[in-house]
A and B are shown apart, each in its own frame.
Chain A
Amino acid sequence: MSAGRGLRVLVLCLELFATLLPRTRRRDWLDQWRAELWHYDQWLGREGASALPRFLRVLARATGAVPHAFTIRLLHWSPRMFVNDLKFAWRMFVRRPGFTAVAVLILGLGIGSNATIFSWVESILLSPLSGVPSQDRLVVVRGVAGGRDNLSMSYPNFVDLRAAKVDGLQDLTAFRVVAMNARTTGEPVRVFGELVTPNFFDVLGVRPVIGRAFLEEEGTTPGREPVVVISHNFWSRILGSDPKAIGRQITVNGLALTVVGIMPPDFHGSVAGLTLELFVPMSLQKSFIAGDRLTQRGNSWLQVYGRMEDGAPYSRANAGLDVAGRRLATTYPDSNKGRDLRGGRLSEDGASGLLMPVMTTLMGVVGLVLLTACANLAGLLLARAAGRQREVAVRLAVGASRARVVRQLLVENLLVAATGGIAGLFMARWTSGLLRLFVPPTPYPIAFDASLSPRVIGFAAALTAVTAIVSGLLPALRGSRADLAVALKASAPATSGGGRARLRQALVVSQIALSMLLLVCAALFVRSLANARSMDTGYSARQGFVGSIDLLAGGYDRARGLAFYEELRSRLSALPNVERVSLATTLPLDIGSGSDMSVGVDGYVPREGEQMNVYYTRVGPDYFAALGVTIVQGRGITARDVADQPQVAVINETVARRYFEGRNPVGGILRFGSGPVTVVGVARDGKYQQLTESPRSYLYLPVLQNYRPDTLVLVRTSTDPAIVLGAVQREIRALDPTLPLFDVRTLAEHRQLAMFIPRMASTLLGLFGALALVLAVVGLYGVIAYTVTQRTQEIGVRVALGAAQNDVAWLVMRQGLRLAAIGLGVGVVLAFGAGLLLAKQLVGVSPGDPVSFAATAFVLLLVATLASAIPARRAATLDPLVALRRD
């Protein structure tokens, strides 16, 4: 939503809300808020906020209008009148417990689901870094060059940038997330931490709860006793909350580090969504990332945050960075030419950026659910307004103004909505923790902390007020328009409002259409999930597991690393129940897997502008047998493919088809990096990144020729992998007691990864679809039951004149089924449109999948039949004597 349009909608909501205020104060209040939101919105614009966060912030600020309005009421209204309104509302509230319960339930579900999603958006978008104060004053500094805008920075560039005192920024810090092997006394553990500049904690504005942060000199020289700051979690989990932890030594990546500080429990580092445990000063870089990176200006590997000066607007910091970036480019043209600097917001960074699209979609979905809830409540209120026509008419007749009546009805609805809002918050208290369902199972320690902050509660309160007005205003206006002469007559219900009935029917139709939409989408994903389970992914191994090893963190160089790989393979292969052992840098269908490079193929002339990019992985001997990938031609990678032998590669069928058309690919020559690489085999095509991808070019290189210090160990077993795992870990420990085998998962668990999106989508859409369906059915039942009540006399006459029970029942049923059918029709069109949008995420299901549509329509019709059958039965069994005697 654009900020401008969002603002207009907000002001419209405020205008509706203004009807709750005394007439004399309405204008004042509204103008004041219009000015407030305008000023704030403009200010945010100048600060450079992007559209959605900007709107959310304005929305958060607008919540203040509610307490303001209540204050005015309390100060300027006769309290007696308000209390009377409330008292009367309370009487109506308890006099109809059934109606109240249904209304509270409906609103509770609607508001609850919105508060839940908002709590997620808040934790991801509005304050992504846990435990860091004034996050909106932090700027993410990114390099911009060659069409990319998220480049990292080299250490020398950072040092110069910091020394140059960027205008608008107090200070800058640089850091890099690194995986570490830590060991205290027992087992080595794999944790994630950060390599940071010594001012890191100052810039973030956090301080250790025990001990100290880094000293400036610790950033450049490790000193005799290199230091580490640990997270609260590490302290309690690994060090057992040792009261003498400060000064204790722990071994991290082979270095003995002295603990100097423990961070507060809510601080998890500087990357949104990650739980980082150890913080080591920059001077220890060489032990954590390969190469001597502190001196190379061309080697960009650091993330940089800046803290803005107090009161300095975002735009000034950005301009300052722009100037500083250009100065760096002129001073060091070799490495920095064409490279600009730009400031960004935290909410666009890291895991937050990843989850943003999901969250935006979810906001849309729950918005629809709330809309359904409002439509539903409006329907119920319209029905009730009909029942209260005579009461309203009496009030009007004895001199109440229409505004007075509207206000009374709104106060009643506000009471219902407030109860619903509280119920919703209780629901959100439980459901906000479900955010972890959205976290894909990656080796990274991803964790979001969603909870009911004051902002979420404020949001729910504002939503409650808006809901009360949106759902209550129309019924109240209609309800208060009673024609006195007609309403006071005894036969009023039979003749009242055709327009009102039509409105209710339209509401029910829209609810059914919405639930159809959500449920069809859910069904499409359920079918995707089923397809994904049975899909041929190109590898057939079922029993086994993979785990990761990081030799760099273990202090290995290339020669020792290669020797380790050899030794590891032979030891593990000798274990009982182990069928095959191999190594690989990535497995197919891993999250975030896939590096690609540009290759040349001898004998193939690329077309004009053709990009010959091929994805690749490095694998150990026996890889294809271990994972069950068929070699269709030639051979796989063997133990003989080592560094001093000719460079070889195995290609997949797609590469063979594309670049070796009509030729024998085996013996063909590929060119990338240094020297020719001979193709020795062709492997069957598979799925490499997503189940939904079309065939892509893929290359397997021997890891023994292309060394990498971090690798996956792949073990195929002949029995339950859990039985073998212990023995494998023992062997690794025997080889090197400091090396942990981490991120261990069975091949079955690995397969689950690929199904993450369809599973998550089907669960959520199914859940919200079911919610919408319940709401729609309640609405349908309400409408039909209401018409039966209204037509009691007519039905009585029919029965008295000899109509059969079945005919009467059908009369009522027909009405319900007609509404359901129209809703279905509209829903089918909507669902088809939504299906087209989702097509990319569907596995082997077309967006117009007849099974999904038919099954959903069947369920909807069935439920609609039940919902109208209950009132139909009541109508059919009416005693004509009783019906006709009703006044």
Chain B
Amino acid sequence: MLASNIALSFGSAAILHAVAAGSRFGFDIMQATGLTSGTVYPTLERLEAAGYLKSTWEDAADAHAAGRPARRYFTLTAPGATALRVALAKYRALRPLPGFAAEEA
């Protein structure tokens, strides 16, 4: 279906990459990618519609206990993982460089 023939833009790839790396909600993804809110949110919406991402709302009681509004968490689907792999092969800029590994885990 849709999934296979959507070419991922660099921004979309970066967002999928961030989700795969553990950034699960909008603000966190923005922090991780440095992209603007006007890019991240619409892209998340499109990626979910394309079936690459799945979203769930955090339990309201948990969020309340943590003293913050509930977050909408995104996770990578199987087609999403495939798309990310294809994108990482295509976008050499996203590949890790020897000597530039992040210092913190």
Q: Which residues of A does B touch, CB under 8 Å?
A: 28, 31-32, 34-36, 38-40, 42-43, 61-68, 70-72, 75-76, 458
Taking a contact as CB atoms under 8 Å apart, the answer to whether B40 and A64 are in contact is yes
Taking a contact as CB atoms under 8 Å apart, the answer to whether B37 and A35 are in contact is no
Complex Cα spacing A135 to B37, Å:
19
11 sample A-B contacts, Cβ–Cβ < 8 Å, listed by A number? A32-B41, A34-B69, A39-B68, A40-B27, A62-B37, A64-B37, A64-B38, A64-B42, A68-B45, A71-B42, A71-B45
A64/B36 contact (C-beta < 8 A), A72-B45, A75-B45, A75-B46 known: yes
Taking a contact as CB atoms under 8 Å apart, the answer to whether B41 and A38 are in contact is no
Distance in Å from the Cβ of A884 to the closest Cβ of chain B? 57
Complex Cα spacing A36 to B72, Å:
10
Residues in B whose Cβ lies below 8 Å from that of A38: 68-69
Starting from the known contacts A35-B69, A61-B36, A64-B36, 16 additional A-B residue pairs (CB-CB under 8 Å) come to: A28-B57, A28-B72, A31-B57, A34-B69, A35-B70, A36-B26, A40-B27, A42-B68, A62-B37, A64-B37, A64-B38, A65-B37, A65-B41, A66-B38, A68-B41, A71-B46
Complex Cα spacing A31 to B26, Å:
12
Nearest first, the 3 A-B pairs at minimum CB distance are A64-B37, A71-B42, A68-B41
Distance in Å from the Cβ of A310 to the closest Cβ of chain B? 9
Taking a contact as CB atoms under 8 Å apart, the answer to whether A63 and B38 are in contact is yes
Interface assignment of B49: CB less than 8 Å from any CB of chain A:
yes
Residues in A whose Cβ lies below 8 Å from that of B54: none
Residues in A whose Cβ lies below 8 Å from that of B68: 35, 38-39, 42
Within 8 A of A (CB), among B6-24: none
Complex Cα spacing A38 to B72, Å:
13
Distance in Å from the Cβ of A566 to the closest Cβ of chain B? 63
A35/B49 contact (C-beta < 8 A), A61-B37, A67-B38, A67-B41 known: no
Residues in A whose Cβ lies below 8 Å from that of B72: 28, 31-32, 35
Complex Cα spacing A62 to B41, Å:
11
The residue of chain A having its C-beta at the shortest distance from the C-beta of B44 within the complex is A68
Residues in A whose Cβ lies below 8 Å from that of B46: 71, 75
Residues in A whose Cβ lies below 8 Å from that of B41: 32, 36, 64-65, 67-68, 71
Distance in Å from the Cβ of A12 to the closest Cβ of chain B? 15
Residues in A whose Cβ lies below 8 Å from that of B42: 64, 67-68, 70-71
Residues in A whose Cβ lies below 8 Å from that of B69: 31, 34-35, 38
By CB atoms of chain A within 10 A, which of B38, B49, B68, B69 has the most?
B38
The residue of chain B having its C-beta at the shortest distance from the C-beta of A63 within the complex is B38
Within 8 A of A (CB), among B71-96: 71-72
Distance in Å from the Cβ of A135 to the closest Cβ of chain B? 15
Distance in Å from the Cβ of B32 to the closest Cβ of chain A? 11
Residues in B whose Cβ lies below 8 Å from that of A39: 27, 68
Complex Cα spacing A64 to B26, Å:
11
Complex Cα spacing A536 to B79, Å:
82
A35/B45 contact (C-beta < 8 A), A28-B72, A458-B38 known: no
Complex Cα spacing A62 to B31, Å:
15
Distance in Å from the Cβ of B19 to the closest Cβ of chain A? 15
Residues in A whose Cβ lies below 8 Å from that of B31: 43
Distance in Å from the Cβ of A68 to the closest Cβ of chain B? 4
Complex Cα spacing A62 to B26, Å:
12
The residue of chain A having its C-beta at the shortest distance from the C-beta of B72 within the complex is A32
Distance in Å from the Cβ of B29 to the closest Cβ of chain A? 10
Residues in B whose Cβ lies below 8 Å from that of A75: 45-46, 49
Distance in Å from the Cβ of A710 to the closest Cβ of chain B? 46
Complex Cα spacing A70 to B43, Å:
12
By CB atoms of chain A within 10 A, which of B25, B31, B37, B71 has the most?
B37
Taking a contact as CB atoms under 8 Å apart, the answer to whether B38 and A35 are in contact is no
Residues in B whose Cβ lies below 8 Å from that of A34: 69
The residue of chain A having its C-beta at the shortest distance from the C-beta of B35 within the complex is A64
Complex Cα spacing A43 to B27, Å:
10
Complex Cα spacing A66 to B38, Å:
8
Distance in Å from the Cβ of A134 to the closest Cβ of chain B? 10
Distance in Å from the Cβ of A38 to the closest Cβ of chain B? 5
Q: Mark B59-74, 1 if CB is under 8 A from A, else 0.
A: 0000000001111100
Of A32, A66, A71, the residue contacting B26 (CB under 8 A) is A32
Taking a contact as CB atoms under 8 Å apart, the answer to whether A31 and B27 are in contact is no
The residue of chain A having its C-beta at the shortest distance from the C-beta of B103 within the complex is A310
Complex Cα spacing A183 to B43, Å:
56
Residues in A whose Cβ lies below 8 Å from that of B37: 36, 61-65, 68
Complex Cα spacing A63 to B39, Å:
11
Complex Cα spacing A72 to B46, Å:
8
Distance in Å from the Cβ of A247 to the closest Cβ of chain B? 34
Complex Cα spacing A62 to B36, Å:
10
Complex Cα spacing A43 to B68, Å:
12
Taking a contact as CB atoms under 8 Å apart, the answer to whether A31 and B45 are in contact is no
Taking a contact as CB atoms under 8 Å apart, the answer to whether A35 and B27 are in contact is yes
Distance in Å from the Cβ of A529 to the closest Cβ of chain B? 44
Complex Cα spacing A248 to B84, Å:
53
Residues in B whose Cβ lies below 8 Å from that of A32: 26, 41, 72
Of B25, B36, B39, B40, the residue contacting A35 (CB under 8 A) is B25
Distance in Å from the Cβ of A586 to the closest Cβ of chain B? 48
Complex Cα spacing A67 to B46, Å:
12
Distance in Å from the Cβ of A421 to the closest Cβ of chain B? 15
Residues in B whose Cβ lies below 8 Å from that of A62: 37
Distance in Å from the Cβ of A354 to the closest Cβ of chain B? 30
The residue of chain A having its C-beta at the shortest distance from the C-beta of B40 within the complex is A64
Distance in Å from the Cβ of A337 to the closest Cβ of chain B? 38
Residues in B whose Cβ lies below 8 Å from that of A66: 38
Complex Cα spacing A62 to B38, Å:
8
Residues in B whose Cβ lies below 8 Å from that of A40: 27
The residue of chain A having its C-beta at the shortest distance from the C-beta of B26 within the complex is A36
The residue of chain A having its C-beta at the shortest distance from the C-beta of B104 within the complex is A311
Residues in B whose Cβ lies below 8 Å from that of A72: 45
Residues in A whose Cβ lies below 8 Å from that of B45: 68, 71-72, 75
Distance in Å from the Cβ of B9 to the closest Cβ of chain A? 14
Distance in Å from the Cβ of B38 to the closest Cβ of chain A? 4
Complex Cα spacing A329 to B26, Å:
45
Residues in B whose Cβ lies below 8 Å from that of A67: 38, 41-42
Complex Cα spacing A43 to B36, Å:
16
Taking a contact as CB atoms under 8 Å apart, the answer to whether A31 and B70 are in contact is yes
Residues in B whose Cβ lies below 8 Å from that of A76: 49
By CB atoms of chain A within 10 A, which of B26, B39, B46, B57 has the most?
B26
Residues in A whose Cβ lies below 8 Å from that of B71: 35
Complex Cα spacing A68 to B72, Å:
14
The residue of chain A having its C-beta at the shortest distance from the C-beta of B50 within the complex is A75
Residues in A whose Cβ lies below 8 Å from that of B26: 32, 35-36
Residues in B whose Cβ lies below 8 Å from that of A458: 38
Complex Cα spacing A61 to B69, Å:
17
